A = this chain, B = another copy of it.
Amino acid sequence: MTVVKSPLPEPARQVTYDALQSTLVDLLGISLIGKQAHWNIVGPRFRSVHLQLDEVVTAARSFADTVAERAAALGLPPDGRPETIASAFTLPAPKDGWLRDEDVVEVIAETLGAAIGRLRERIEATEQADPVSQDLLISVTAELEKQRWMFEAENWPRES
């Protein structure tokens, strides 16, 4: 029985759903590890990075909500439960315990870089399937690329 009728036919619906569901997991994961770093960071740049991380978390939470509701609007239920995130989230992440500020900057730049790479594949995948969802994924990418640049800029010249 159909609960919410989908405006998309198969197979476009499944393609789009896959892109949205995996983006949802990435964004929820980023929001959790962003907070983890926000709480555990130490070092001379504590305050600056502590605040910057909250902007990442706020963006990730807001887009996670939009992405999940887009999946629901397609007639397929999104999955953001703890166990789903734990098993499906594979982006680089900080370890537990106190974290040095320079390590936080580096790992978050990597997390965002990896997330962007996956998003660009999904943008391509949804171009034919659903331009409405593609437009949302483009917005997510624009925001994460902006956030990534700022951590990259802050990471310099370490990675030279």
On A, residues with C-beta under 8 Å from B are 1-5, 7, 28-29, 32-33, 35-36, 39-52, 61, 64-65, 68-75, 77-87, 89, 93-94, 96-98, 102, 113, 116-117, 120, 123, 131-132, 134-136, 138-139, 141-142, 145-146, 148-150, 152-154, 156-157, 160
A82 with B77, Cβ < 8 A, contacts A132-B138, A138-B135 known: no
* Closest-CB distance, A2 to chain B (whole angstroms): 8
Q: Would A96 and B84 count as touching, CB distance under 8 A?
A: yes
* Copies of this chain: 12
| A93, A135, A136, A153: residue with the most chain B Cβ atoms closer than 10 Å | A153
A160 CA to B73 CA, complexed, in Å: 17
A135 CA to B123 CA, complexed, in Å: 12
Q: Would B79 and A149 count as touching, CB distance under 8 A?
A: no
Closest Cβ neighbor of A88 among chain B residues: B82
